């Protein structure tokens, strides 16, 4: 029990230190990491620290009166993604919404194409695009994170299986790798 308490305290400490870092010297990279920590809690169904919850609520305060696409693009911009990725990630968010509501992936592409007034192939390419460095579907994963955040969505076990099929790796395994990377990156905090 003590080991798990220490892990929780370490996680909260890292969250608080990243918030301080973001407050003192705002950067896209730290904004993205704080967002990812928030989504990690949603996926793992763990308690979000009050500090992180307050930070996220304040950071995304101005999104209420926007259309779905405008709100999606605003979230993506705030988490520091390069502008050339914004539309692809936004398309992925809406594709995830359709997939997780039960549509077959090909139907999800068609629905998203209608919303973005584009063709099926552009949506498919955005959703299936792989990162050249790691061979992972990075923009697809970011789209999932934004979808979870915007909809306060909790993945069911069926959802987790669908996500695993699409991302070619269990979501919890990806989160674990992200946690290790983050701890190593900020080990000196």
3-state secondary structure (DSSP) of residue 94: helix
Largest Cα–Cα distance in the chain? 54
pLDDT of amino acid 133:
58
pLDDT digits (tens, 9 = 90+) for 135-174: 578 899 999 999 999 988 999 999 999 999 999 999 999 8
3-state secondary structure (DSSP) of residue 130: coil
The residues spanned by each domain of the chain are 2-185
pLDDT of amino acid 111:
96
pLDDT digits (tens, 9 = 90+) for 64-123: 777 888 888 888 988 888 899 999 999 999 999 999 999 999 999 999 999 999 999 999
- DSSP secondary structure letter of residue 175: H
Measured CA to CA in angstroms, residue 81 lies from 39, 44, 74 at distances of: 16, 24, 11
pLDDT digits (tens, 9 = 90+) for 1-60: 567 777 778 888 999 999 999 999 999 899 999 999 999 999 999 989 999 999 998 888
Is residue 27 within 8 Å of residue 60, measured between CB atoms? no
Q: How far apart, in whole angstroms, are the C-alpha atoms of residue 56 and residue 71?
A: 15
């Amino acid at each position: 029990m003590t080991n798990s308490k220490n892990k929780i305290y370490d996680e909260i400490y890292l969250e608080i230190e990243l918030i301080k870092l973001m407050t003192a010297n705002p950067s896209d990279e730290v904004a993205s990491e704080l967002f990812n920590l928030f989504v990690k809690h949603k996926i793992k169904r763990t308690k979000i620290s009050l500090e992180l919850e307050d930070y996220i609520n304040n950071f995304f305060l101005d999104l209420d009166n926007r259309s779905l696409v405008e709100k999606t693009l605003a979230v993506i911009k705030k988490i520091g993604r390069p502008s050339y990725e914004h539309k692809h990630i936004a398309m992925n968010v809406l594709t995830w919404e359709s997939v997780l509501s039960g549509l077959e992936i090909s139907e999800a592409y068609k629905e998203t194409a209608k919303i973005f007034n584009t063709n099926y192939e552009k949506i498919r390419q955005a959703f299936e695009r792989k990162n050249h460095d790691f061979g992972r579907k990075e923009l697809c994963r970011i789209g999932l994170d934004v979808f979870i955040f915007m909809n306060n969505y909790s993945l069911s076990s069926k959802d987790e299986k669908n996500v695993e099929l699409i991302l070619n790796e269990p979501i919890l395994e990806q989160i674990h790798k992200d946690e290790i990377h983050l701890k190593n990156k900020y080990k000196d905090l």
